[in-house]
Chains A and B, each alone.
Chain A
Amino acid sequence: MNKRPRMTLGRAMALLACGLPVLAAGQTPSRIAAAGDYTPPRTAYGHPDLQGFWTNATYTPLERPDDVAEAFYTPEELAARLARAAANESAQTEPGTVPDVHYDFTQFGLDRSQSTFVQDLRTSLIVAPEDGKIPPMTAEGEQRNAARAEAQRRLGERWDSAQANQLDDRCLIMRGSGPPMMDAGYNANYQIVQTPQHVMILVEMIHDVRLIPLDGRAQPHANVRQWMGTSRGRWDGDTLVVETTNFNGKNPFRGSSEHMRVIERFTRVADDEIMYSFTIDDPATWTRPWTAELPMKATFGPLFEHACHEGNYGLYNTLVGARLEEARAAAEAEQGEQN
Chain B
Amino acid sequence: MRSWPQSLMILLVVLACGVAVGSHEARGQAAPYRAPRTSDGHPDLNGIWQAIGSAHWNIEPHAAAPGLVTELGASIAVPPGAGVVDGGAIPYRPEALAARQANYADRLNLDPEIKCYLPGVPRATYMPFPFQIVQSPQHIMLVHEYAGAVRTIYMDNHMEAPADSWMGWSNGHFEGETLVVDSTGFNDKTWFDRAGNFHSAALHVVERFTPRSADTLMYEVTIEDPNVFTRPWTMSMPLYRRVEPNAEILEFRCVEFVEDLIYGDLAKQPD
A191, CB-defined interface residue at 8 Å: yes
Q: Which chain A residues lie closer than 8 Å to B256 at the CB level? A: 170, 172
Asked whether B118 lies within 8 Å of A193 as measured between CB atoms, the reply is: no
A163 to B148, CA, bound (A): 20
Tell me the minimal C-beta distance from A135 to chain B in angstroms.
29
CB within 8 Å of B: which A182-210 residues: 191, 193-198, 200, 202, 207-209
Residue among B149, B154, B165, B256 facing the most chain A CB atoms (10 A cut-off):
B256
Of the candidates A160, A193, A207, the one whose C-beta lies within 8 Å of that of B148 is A207
Stretch at the interface among B75-83, B100-108, B136-144, B204-212: B136-144
Chain A interface residue count, Cβ-Cβ cutoff 8 angstroms:
49
Judge whether B152 is part of the interface by a CB distance below 8 angstroms: yes
Q: What count of chain B residues pass the 8 Å CB interface test? A: 43
Q: Pick the contact of A319: B117, B245, B253, B263 (CB < 8 A).
A: B263
Residue among B141, B149, B259 making CB contact with A163, cutoff 8 Å: B259
Residue A73 interfacial (CB < 8 Å): no
How would residues 233 to 271 of chain B score, 1 for a CB under 8 Å from any chain A CB and 0 otherwise? 000000000000110111101011001101110111000
Assess whether B152 is in contact with A303, with CB atoms less than 8 Å apart.
yes
- Asked if A331 is at the interface (CB within 8 A of a chain B CB), the reply is no
- Tell me, rounded to whole Å, the shortest Cβ–Cβ distance linking B232 to chain A: 25
* Binary contact readout A274-312 vs B (1 if CB under 8 angstroms, 0 otherwise): 000000000000000000000000000011110101100
Give the interface segment out of A29-37, A136-144, A320-328.
A320-328
Asked whether B129 is an interface residue with its Cβ less than 8 Å from the other chain, the reply is no
Which residues of chain B have C-beta atoms less than 8 A from A305's C-beta? 118, 165-167
Q: How far, in whole Å, are A45 and B117 apart by their CA atoms in the complex?
A: 38
CA distance A195 to B40 in the complex (A): 12
**Contact of A254 with B by CB under 8 A:** no
Chain A residues, Cβ within 8 Å of B116: 309
Q: Decide: A304 and B163 in contact? CB cutoff 8 A.
A: yes
**A-side contacts of B167, CB under 8 Å:** 305
Whether the pair A173, B253 counts as a contact (CB closer than 8 A) is: yes
Contacts of A13 in B (CB 8 A): none
CA distance A322 to B269 in the complex (A): 11
- State whether A195 and B46 are in contact (beta carbons under 8 Å apart), knowing that A51-B136, A171-B255 are contacts in the complex: yes
Residue of B nearest to A49 (CB): B136
Q: Which residues of B contact A83 (CB under 8 A)?
A: none
Question: Inside 8 A of A45's CB, which chain B residues have their CB?
Answer: 39
Q: Which residues of B contact A230 (CB under 8 A)?
A: 248, 250
Q: Is the CB of B148 within 8 A of A208?
A: yes
CB distance from A184 to the nearest CB of B (A): 15
Q: How many residue pairs bridge A and B at CB < 8 Å?
A: 114
Assuming the contacts A43-B39, A309-B117, asked whether A193 and B267 have C-beta atoms less than 8 A apart, the reply is no
- Which of chain A's residues have a CB closer than 8 A to the CB of B259? 162-163, 170
Q: Is A202 touching B166 in the complex (CB atoms < 8 A)?
A: no
CB atoms of A227 and B251 under 8 A apart: yes
Q: Which of B159-194 contact A (CB under 8 A)?
A: 162-163, 165-167, 189
| Bound CA–CA A208/B39 (angstroms) | 27
- Asked if B165 and A217 sit within 8 Å, CB to CB, the answer is no
**Would A162 and B263 count as touching, CB distance under 8 A?**
yes
**B266 near A211 (CB under 8 angstroms)?**
no
Is the C-beta of B50 less than 8 angstroms from some C-beta in chain A? no
Q: In the complex, what residues of B have CB within 8 A of residue A44's CB?
A: 39-40
**Chain A nearest CB, measured from B242 CB (Å):** 13
Q: Is A228 an interface residue (CB 8 A)?
A: yes
Asked if B125 CB lies within 8 Å of chain A CBs, one says no
By the criterion CB–CB under 8 Å, are A170 and B139 in contact? no
**Are A202 and B152 interface neighbours, CB within 8 A?**
yes
Bound form: Cα–Cα A142–B31 in Å: 66
Collect the chain B residues with CB atoms within 8 Å of residue A326's CB.
268
Cross-chain contact A170 with B148 (CB below 8 angstroms):
no
CB neighbours (8 Å) of B264 from chain A are: 162
A163 to B260, CA, bound (A): 9
Please state if A310 and B166 are interface contacts (CB–CB under 8 Å).
yes
Contact partner of B245 among A171, A198, A217, CB < 8 A?
A217
Q: Which residues of A contact B54 (CB under 8 A)?
A: none
Residues in A with CB closer than 8 Å to B268 are 156, 159-161, 322-323, 326
CB < 8 Å: which of A202, A226, A315 contacts B250?
Answer: A226
**Min C-beta distance of A318 to chain B, whole Å:** 9
Residue of A nearest to B168 (CB): A305
Contact across chains for B263 and A51 when beta carbons are under 8 A apart: no
The verdict on A220 contacting chain B, using a C-beta distance below 8 Å, is yes
Give the residue name and chain of the B residue nearest to A167 (CB).
B256
Question: Knowing A207-B148, A307-B165 touch, does A323 contact B143 (C-beta < 8 A)?
Answer: no
* A160/B267 contact (C-beta < 8 A), A200-B141, A209-B148, A307-B165 known: yes
Closest 10 CB pairs of A and B: A44-B39, A319-B266, A162-B263, A161-B267, A305-B165, A160-B268, A162-B259, A226-B251, A200-B134, A309-B255
| 27 A–B pairs (Cβ distance < 8 Å), ordered by A | A44-B39, A156-B268, A161-B263, A162-B263, A170-B256, A170-B259, A172-B256, A191-B139, A195-B134, A196-B39, A200-B141, A202-B141, A207-B149, A207-B150, A211-B143, A213-B248, A217-B245, A217-B246, A220-B248, A220-B250, A226-B251, A227-B251, A230-B248, A304-B162, A305-B166, A315-B263, A323-B266
Chain A residues engaging chain B, CB cutoff 8 angstroms:
43-45, 51, 156, 159-163, 170-173, 191, 193-198, 200, 202, 207-209, 211, 213, 217, 220, 224, 226-228, 230, 302-305, 307, 309-310, 315-316, 319-320, 322-323, 326
